[in-house]
Amino acid sequence: MKTREIVGELPEGALAWQREGPWTAGRLAQGRSLAEVLADPSRAAEWAESAPPFARDTLALIVKRFGPAPFPEEKLATEGGRPPFGWTGAELRLAVQLLRRDGIVFAMDRPWGDRLLLVPSDMCAAWRRLLLPLRARPLPEEAWMDGCDAAAAPLSHELIAAWSAIRRTGLPLTAKGAPRKQDAAKLASAMRLAPEDIPPLAMPPAWEALPASAVLALRLGSALGMLKRRGRAISAEPNEAAKAWLALPASEAELRLLEQAAHCLLSAAAPESGAWLAAESLRDLAPMRWYSAAEIAKALPTKEAAGAAEAWVRFLRAAGWMETGSGAEGAALRWIIEPNPERLWVSADGYDRYELMPDLEAIVPPEVPPGARWELELLARRLSEDVVAVYRLDADACRRAFAGGTSLEQARFALERGSGAPLPGAVDIALRDWFHAAPAHSAGQSAPLTEAAAQLSGAPQQEAHAKQPEAGDDERHNERYDGRHMESQDDPHSEAPADDIFGCAEAAERTGAPEQARAWDARPPMLSRKLYPGAEGVPPGWLRQPAAYHASTRKEIIERAIGWRSGLRLCKDGAWMDFAPERVVPAERGGWRVWGRPFVREAGSGKPVLAENPIALEAAEIGQIMISLPDSEFGVDCRPIT
Amino acid sequence: MTLSRKTAAPIIAQSDGTLLLDERLPGFGEAQALLRAIAELQKRPGHLHTYRITPVTVWNAAASGWTAARALGSLRALSRYGVPASLERDLAAQFARYGQLRLGVQDGELRLLAKEPALLAAVAALKAVSGWLRLSADGGYAVVRPDARGWLKRELALAGYPVIDDAGYRSGEPLPLALRSSGALPGLRDYQQAAVDALLGKEGGTVLAATAASPAPAVAGGSGVVVLPCGAGKTWVGIGAIARLACETLILTPNTMSVTQWIRELRRATTLGDDQIGAYTGERKEVRPVTVATYQVLSSRGGERGSNAHWPLFQDRNWGLIIYDEVHLLPAPVFRLTAELQATRRLGLTATLVREDGREGDVFALVGPKAYEAPWKSLEEAGWIAEASCSEVRVPLEPGCAERYADAPARARSRIAGENPRKAEVVRALLARHEGEQALVIGQYLDQLRRVSRELGLPLVTGDMAHGERQALFDRFNRGELRALALSKVANFAVDLPDAAVAVQISGSFGSRQEEAQRLGRILRPKANGGGASFYSLVSEHTDEVEYARRRQQFLVQQGYRYEVRRWAEDGSEADLPAANGPR
């Protein structure tokens, strides 16, 4: 779930304390909404810089182990108890409270009592980039030449074509609410994306037998707002969000599509699979540089992610976003789009326009926004799709567009805007011929196409009559593709949730909980000693500084620390150590001993982490001792230096 | 592919082998030189030129000394979005394939030799060629059936294995001749010379040993096709090749008019005597050291069991060169025969490799690859062909005609539109506009032509007219005694009327791109006064003829020509098309 969706569902009580949090109050005062503030990636960097290390590491652990999937809190405790995590359970619990306070982690209670935590999917990606960057070195450019796989055109091009086909004919649904098998098969057969290249999709049962590529096209269309359900059919009617996507520069539109595809395909994957982490981590790689696949596997944060990367790369390659090859350095891969929003750079050098040629062909460079392709699909026939797409203006297509209500002026306007130049004479003449030749009585009467054609135009119908664009109107030629002009006024139903075409099952699947059962935790985070039951009752000295105690008191201190899952600072044989106690057991010769893990310096980073193997400390070996309890109230980081 | 863009790089390289070249960007000249070497130009309708890399273009580049590293290095440096990995791989693979297989003559046998014995074994196992090959005991070579030389190369090329043919060509019967060169006959123009050089090499034919496959001493060099615009002097390229090879030559042409013109040019431009040049047509059967025949006579069946009575013309004389004029019209029977004539050099001449029957591949395989092409606009810019302005004039249908058109079945409509009587008044007005210029009125339908001829008092030339009578009219036209001629589709090819500066096409054969190009070609000879040429295509408004015209114009538009579209108004004036006010 994205931040905006969560904020939209939060109870008023939760919203109240969220608004007053130290990371939100100031920003809200600048006039931004809570959702905007919480979903702002620049806030992430700032937070990470000043957050207590135990909170930062806890967030990294959450992102690494669960990604954006909801997870039970106790599972986090289990993960945190494993090396090489560097903090105790007490610190981890406090970290969760801090993360909730700061609007990074959200909690929901399920009816049967357990509690789930989650990081919103949009911000989870930002946290991953910040806290778990993939460090890999590209291969030298000259090292790579042979054995490269062909790159397909980016997925957006294929989807635009698929959605355009739906725009022309609609897609009827069966009584069970799924497309007919033959229609889905037809949709899939026109796509290059093979079902075996697509990770498993979670689907309502009626959809399960359909080709995965068709389902993905529909699901992405739905998620982006390009498709909607109208009674017993799916139609292509871009809503406001889709119009915004259509108007994006091509590179940004492709990136958004990648994100949406990852969301659709990976939200269903079990967090343990590492699929989300692999997909996100790969986005750190620089585009157009070859990387050794083996090196990438080593550099991924978990071995599960390394295992999952192969399948995701297969999908990326099929989607035309990545190339793979094999050469002297072994298997290698490279991005051919910019996968990282932070590096995204959009030029304004004019290549975002297509070239209309006098032989009636449109040469469409990769930088052309999807909206222009969407328009061309209505007026022209696609001849080829490679680095550039080639469309040919076509009498049949134009007549069809006209039958659907598109006027000659609208068509001319769209083509002049898309190409950024006056129409070549031959094109202008051809359009006039084709639009004039269309039977006049058919204008606007073809029910299935009327809405579709209205989507085409740069100029809405009324506007076309009011102000006829003229050749040489530079202002018009320089106008970018703009969602404002793209569609006719949406009807009130167009803003229905994108998931409409699938029903509610998808939404439930995405959050891991049935929608009606989702209850966000409105209780404010607990950031005081109350987080540790009985803390007020223990002698303050136990928490303040190490001291020598009687063996029975030492045992009591240790048992209290175990209860709180906190750490101990103690002196053994004259040396100080930090120790996470796990259990106290009787010793063979009477007395007791405590099992636990000492904190050790991690090789490389030098950070204190729990040791791999537990050790036992005899009661007599323990000298001065104190409980290391994190104390967020004072901003004190209690992690001692061993 | 939105990354690593070199903003000013002029080439867009695609994984399917197409390369788009932007003539507006710096580096265009360098890029054009590169693409001419490794790819072939498909079209140049605007500032984006489309080239295509194919195995054949790569093999040709390899034959010219290009290496994969050099080609790829240049392509990478000049490509806006880099070179797709698959294209790099294909390019490297095709470069590597060239030179792997070679046809040669050893010990009197025609042999196929391979750099790798494994490749030879693999090739010999191909079903399409296995019947023509016999592997030697040690697997070091394969003996080739002599009559299969052409078919073997064709099938192996289709299978992706280019064969370097070192078996040579028969030199043919020697024929001493020279080109005349005087003030009126300045010799070959630079591009004509370049075409001859591209075909034969600069040195001409190297004599090889005699073989069973070609009993006469053989010569090296190539066969191929030269593509030049109409009016650019393709005949001169043929004559240049004959003069360079100095051998007996068979020239095949589409019709008897063309036979006459070839003979006239040969007499005018070479030292050959009349007794050395023969015509082989339906009317005359002269077989002489240089014989000019029609495709039609060679395709006609007359022998026993349907065999062709005239095919011995190919085999019974020791021709050193066969020239296929207007090679895009080559009929299927002549294709078959050509496959068996691989020991004889072949030169195809055409203005366009577009074949309406889509058999461009057969021309490549059996006559030869494209050896040379000069784009139309380049020659126009250099002044070797006249600058032409092209117009499409939309003529409203006459009222009665419009009703007949509306009621007619689809198959009858194009004729009704083509014969629109109102076109006659447009022709009259256009001839008046171009008073002082020589004009041709060209049409598809004889009834229409007769009507126009009658109404406007124009002499009419049709295919039915006796050859002598036809030639007499042409001669009068060329002497300036006639200002205008009406021509049937005989004017599509090989009508040499160099001073014609205006052509009015009143009807045509549906959407034939090739016919449109040929008809424009009738007026492209450079004019003595340096003037341009005007081409008009009359099209009945709001009829199927409009779409046919659009298709007909495609080839010329892709060559860079622009059609101005005007409307013939009711009052007889010409105007821009009406402004678009929405559908009616």
Distances (CA, A) of A621 to A189, A306, A552, A570: 73, 43, 14, 10
Nearest to A282 by CA among A66, A135, A123, A126: A135
B260 in any annotated domain: yes
Name every chain A residue with its beta carbon within 8 A of the beta carbon of B43. 359
Angle subtended at Cα B436 by Cα B431 and Cα B437, rounded to the nearest 5 degrees: 70
A338, A402, A408 ranked by CB distance to B2: nearest: A338
CB contact under 8 A, A387 and B12: yes
Residues B337 and B193 in one domain: yes
* Average pLDDT of chain A to the nearest whole number: 82
B327 in any annotated domain: yes
In contact, B564 and A425? CB cutoff 8 Å:
yes
CA separation for the pair B195, B372 (Å, rounded):
5
Residues B255 and B182 in one domain: yes
ipTM of the complex: 0.78
Amino acid at the residue B230: C
B379 in any annotated domain: no
Q: Give residue for tokens 């001749």.
A: B177
Report the residue count for chain A. 642
Residues B362 and B221 in one domain: yes
CA separation for the pair B311, B340 (Å, rounded):
12
For residue A626, the cross-strand partners are: A569
Residues B402 and B459 in one domain: yes
Nearest to B81 by CA among A251, A538, A308, A17: A251
Name every chain B residue with its beta carbon within 8 A of the beta carbon of A426. 550, 553, 557, 562-563, 565
B575 in any annotated domain: no
- pLDDT at B356 (0 to 100): 58
Residues B359 and B267 in one domain: yes
Number of Cβ within a 10 Å radius of residue B564: 14
B229 in any annotated domain: yes
Give the domain extent around B17.
Answer: 11-97
| pLDDT tens by residue, A137-146 | 998 866 655 5
Rg (CA), chain B: 26
Measure in Å the smallest separation between the Cα of A299 and chain B Cα atoms. Answer: 25
CA separation for the pair B438, B434 (Å, rounded):
8
Q: In this structure, what CATH number is given to the domain that contains residue B431?
A: 3.40.50.300
CB contact under 8 A, B583 and A412: no
Number of Cβ within a 10 Å radius of residue B433: 13
**Token duo for residue A618:** 């005899």
CB contact under 8 A, A151 and B85: yes
Residues B142 and B35 in one domain: no
Name every chain B residue with its beta carbon within 8 A of the beta carbon of A151. 1, 15, 84-86
User: Given phi > 0 = left and psi -120 to 50 = alpha, else beta, which region is B107?
Assistant: left
- Domain end position, chosen among B109, B136, B165: B165
Nearest CA in chain B to A410: B582
Residues B322 and B241 in one domain: yes
CB contact under 8 A, A150 and B81: no
Calculate helix-pair angle for B85-97, B55-63, nearest 10 degrees.
50
CA separation for the pair A608, A606 (Å, rounded):
6
B189 in any annotated domain: yes
Residues B224 and B279 in one domain: yes
Contacts of A381 (CB under 8 A, 6+ apart): A391, A392, A394, A396, A397
Task: Kindly list the averaged pLDDT for each block of 10 residues, start to end, along chain B of length 584.
Answer: 64 94 92 90 88 86 88 94 87 92 90 92 92 91 88 84 83 90 70 90 44 38 82 91 94 87 91 94 90 86 58 81 88 74 86 64 73 83 90 92 91 92 94 94 95 95 87 91 91 77 92 84 86 94 92 86 86 56 30
- Domain end position, chosen among B67, B97, B127: B97
Map A347-416 to HEC letters.
Answer: CCCCCCCCEECCCCEEEECCCCCHHHHHHHHHHEEEEEECCCEEEEECHHHHHHHHHCCCCHHHHHHHHH
Residues of chain A with pLDDT under 50: 440-499, 504-516, 632-642
- pTM for this predicted structure: 0.74
Calculate helix-pair angle for B149-158, B332-339, nearest 10 degrees.
100
Amino acid at the residue B271: T
- Domain end position, chosen among B344, B374, B404: B374
Q: What are phi and psi of B476, to 5 degrees?
A: -65, -40
B350 in any annotated domain: yes
CB contact under 8 A, B565 and A386: no
Can you list the positions of beta strands (E) in A80-231? 106-109, 115-118, 171-172, 227-230
What is the separation, in whole angstroms, between the first and last Cα of chain A? 40
Q: How many CB pairs under 8 A join A and B?
A: 132
- pLDDT at A446 (0 to 100): 32
In contact, B237 and B200? CB cutoff 8 Å:
no
A424 in contact with chain B, both atoms CB, cutoff 8 A: yes
B322 in any annotated domain: yes
Residues B315 and B443 in one domain: no
Number of Cβ within a 10 Å radius of residue A610: 25
Name every chain A residue with its beta carbon within 8 A of the beta carbon of B550. 360, 426, 430, 433
In contact, A592 and A585? CB cutoff 8 Å:
yes
A148, A288, A440 ranked by CB distance to B584: nearest: A440
- pLDDT at B355 (0 to 100): 60
Residues B92 and B105 in one domain: no
Total domains in chain B come to 4
Residues B370 and B432 in one domain: no
Measure in Å the smallest separation between the Cα of A632 and chain B Cα atoms. Answer: 46
- pLDDT at B69 (0 to 100): 95
Residues B475 and B552 in one domain: yes
> What are the structural domains, with CATH classification, of chain A?
3-131 (1.10.10), 155-343 (no CATH), 363-438+452-478 (no CATH), 534-628 (2.30.30)
In contact, A92 and A77? CB cutoff 8 Å:
yes
